[in-house]
Amino acid sequence: MKIVLLGYGKMGKTIEQIALDRGHEIVGRIDVNNRTLLETFQKGDVDVAIEFSSPEAAVDNIRDCLKRGWPVICGTTGWLEHRAEIEDLCRQTNGAFFYASNYSIGVNLFFRLNKILARFMKNHPSYQVSMTEIHHTEKRDAPSGTAITLAEGIIEQMPSKKRWVNDAPEEPDAVVIESLREGTVPGTHVVRYDSDVDFIEIQHVARSRQGFALGAVIASEWLVGKQGVFGMEDLLGETGTI
């Protein structure tokens, strides 16, 4: 598989190593310093583009790849106000687009556990739900895409919650997300239900970027040859993981 990497920071380099270990070829490494290199590739030069850049660059990167007929894997967060536009473009071009806020298999199992717990807790209003997410100091968006996905899962299951808020005082109809940026933390997410007498807490702690990167490469292998808009539930549902 011939891969173009859009974004060549720490995550892009980790993806590169895993892709090479799995027998794939990296035909391009695009970042802010050589963005014009993207123009030199033709459709047949690339089997899939893997996009882990920045919120500011992601939309143009995805748009350009879809217009070139390349399937796109995207793990950049912080740009989702443009998601409907990108998904429409994918359909118009008969392309393939795969987005996940987190490509880790463990995190996606955690997403499912989070929904199940929220379903149990919706009938127990004495417990107040909140979330904390911790990431490295270089992460530019807050809250994390993973935290937003967790909050959306809670809102889906709990009629009393209508929205999420970030680093704000507790509000009855909102899931409050606290965002912390510390050192080199790859990603920690905690969901907590607190009452006067006890609390219930679930958490996922990433030890490295390896799990995220491996999931992105596996998703790339799965996406090639398909058309449409996809996410981790499509991939993991088909493989029987979830």
Residues in the annotated binding site for (S)-2,3,4,5-tetrahydrodipicolinate: 136, 145-146
Could you tell me which residues are annotated as the binding site?
A: 35, 75-77, 100-103, 136, 145-146
Catalytic residue among 10, 115, 122, 139: 139
Answer yes or no: 139 catalytic. Answer: yes
Residue by residue, DSSP assigns the chain as: -EEEEE--SHHHHHHHHHHHHTT-EEEEEE-TTSGGGGGG--GGG-SEEEE---HHHHHHHHHHHHHTT--EEE---S-GGGHHHHHHHHHHTT-EEEE-S---HHHHHHHHHHHHHHHHHTT-TTSEEEEEEEE-TT--SSS-HHHHHHHHHHHHH-TT--EEEES----TTEEEEEEEE-TT---EEEEEEE-SS-EEEEEEE--SSHHHHHHHHHHHHHHTT--EEE-HHHHHHHHT--
Which residue among 2, 122, 135, 161 is the active-site one? 135
43 is catalytic: no
Cα–Cα distance measured from residue 66 to residue 62, given in angstroms and rounded to the nearest whole number:
6
Residue numbers annotated as active site? 135, 139
